[in-house]
Each structure stands twice: as C-alpha cells, then as structure tokens.
Amino acid sequence: MVTEVIDECSVGGFVSVPKLLEIDWIKLVQSSLIQHGSVLLELNKGEKHALDMASKYQADWVIIDEKIGRNMAEYLGLNVTGTLGILLKAKQQGLIPSFIESVKAMQNQGIYFHEDLIKKLAKTVAE
C-alpha cells in the first residue's frame, strides 16, 4: 500500500503527529499513479498524492499550509484550508478555548504563521 502522506507525517519534526493509522475516523485510501503529474511537479511527494487523491475522490476539502500547495489545490478546483482555518473552525464550534492560544502553542513548537493573518482571523472570533 502506498502511504506517502502518512509516511511524511510520521517522519516527525517540530510538531508531534499522532500515529494516523490508529485514528478511527481517518480513512486510508490506496494511492495510485499521479494523474496531474506535470502540474504537481514542484510539490513534495506527500502533497502530490494528497492533492491527487483529493481530486480523484472529489474531497470536500484538502488541508495544506504551504502556499504553492494551496495554489495547486485551487488550480485543480479543490476547496482548500490550512491549519489556521482548522483552528478557527474548532474555536467557532467550541472545541478549543482559544484560537490565539492554540496558534501560540504551535508557534512555540517552531511553526510559522504570518502575524497579520493571525490577527485578522483572531478578530473573526473576537480574540
């Protein structure tokens, strides 16, 4: 089974990622030969397969933070959000107590987000 996205997440780095294969609500799909190969040339292996599978399975959303990946997702007609969008939605649904505190926790782990974007989004949830 080809597991590019899971492999990329399991490598680790600044942020600890849970073992994705052990999470019940994650649906693992068999990756196939990339249909949009030349279009996705600039992306890493995980992003290529994530976008290709999102296209193939007509995903409602794809979560990508890197600008080039987001641009490619939009080019392919996919709805795209990023980590900040997920945190914003979690705050709006009462799943986390503070958008800003969650962002700061990620920044403390070495994740970079543009400060103007953080401020803009924080205003939408009155923080």
| Residue ranges of domains in the chain | 4-60, 83-124
Within 10 angstroms of residue 121's Cβ, the number of other Cβ atoms is 19
What is the rounded average pLDDT of the residues 76-104? 93
**In sequence order, which residues have a C-beta less than 8 Å from that of residue 28 and are 6 or more positions away?**
1, 3, 6, 21
- Give the model's pLDDT for residue 1: 45
- Give the model's pLDDT for residue 99: 94
User: Number of helices (H) and strands (E), helices first, in the chain?
Assistant: 6, 2
Q: Are 68 and 48 in contact (CB under 8 A)?
A: no
What is the rounded average pLDDT of the residues 82-111? 91
What is the rounded average pLDDT of the residues 55-81? 89
Which sign, positive or negative, has the C-alpha torsion 109, 114, 115, 118?
A: negative
pLDDT of 84 strictly over 90: yes
The predicted-structure confidence for 11-49, as pLDDT tens digits, reads as follows 655 556 667 667 777 777 666 655 555 555 677 777 887
- Give the model's pLDDT for residue 53: 83
What is the rounded average pLDDT of the residues 51-77? 87
Please state, rounded to an integer, the average pLDDT across all residues of the chain: 81
